[in-house]
Amino acid sequence: MKLDLKKLKLRKVNEQLQNIDRKINDRNFTIINPEGNHAVCAGLTEELNINIKGHVGYYCAGMNQKANITIEGNVGTGVAENMMSGKVHVKGNASQSAGATAHGGLLIIDGDASSRCGISMKGVDIIVKGSVGHMSGFMSQAGNLVVCGDAGEALGDSLYETNIYIKGRVKSLGADCVEKKMDKKHIKKLKLLLQEANIKNQKAESFKRYGSAKKLYNFKIDNISNY
């Protein structure tokens, strides 16, 4: 089914997708003329296949559950913010805070992601085929952040249990973030993530892994400048 945002109001389109009739077998939708609208495909809870033809604004696919959403363009702030499950694939670039606070699912960005990619992520897997900006992985708690390009300043600042895999250069590490050993289990996991994103020209062994030094888990007066 084709949904045209030049002819239909965004609220009506989102309501239709949020309240899909479970008796309908055809779960395939194409959204045309998004023209930078905000919150396109927000709050979906059913298994749907949605293809958005063009650029979108803030919080596209926010709070997604189960749906498979592809954006054929660039996205604004907070794509897949607070996603619980499903898959969001951005074929262009992403603005700041991509995948913020997301609990699960898979977010793939074919281009670059701006600052704070994956902040406070809580179990999502984020794969960026380009580079990420400063403060990416800030206070991230669980999940995996994979970057095939470079990373900006303060990578992984104050992170917890998230694994961050970087192929390129890191401008600087944030507080309590350190490079860690890539053992066999991490290489195996990274290979699976690269396969999910259909990345065939990168070897898992060529990435570096970063994680928490765990010095900020408990308050210490010696670390007060880092809090």
CATH number for position 196: 2.160.20.60
Q: Cα–Cα distance between 208 and 193 in angstroms, integer?
A: 15
Tally the domains of the chain: 1
pLDDT averaged over every residue in the chain: 95
For CA atoms 96, 131, 165, 126, the dihedral sign is positive
> For residue 53, which of 80, 107, 87, 92 has the smallest C-alpha distance?
92
Residue in 166, 158, 116, 126 with CA at minimum distance from that of residue 141: 158
122 pLDDT band, cuts 50/70/90, is very high
* Identity of the residue numbered 15: E
Structure confidence at residue 219 (pLDDT): 66
Q: Count other C-beta atoms under 10 Å from residue 121's C-beta.
A: 31
Contacting residues for 112 by C-beta, under 8 A, at least 6 apart: 93, 94, 128, 130, 131, 132, 133, 149
Is the predicted pLDDT of residue 172 greater than 70, yes or no?
yes
For a pLDDT cut of 90, what percent of the chain falls above it?
91
Q: Which residues contact 77 (CB under 8 A, 6 or more apart)?
A: 58, 59, 95, 96, 97
**What pTM did the predictor assign?**
0.94
Quote the pLDDT of residue 155. Answer: 98
What range does the domain containing 193 cover?
2-226
Model confidence at 223: pLDDT above 80: no
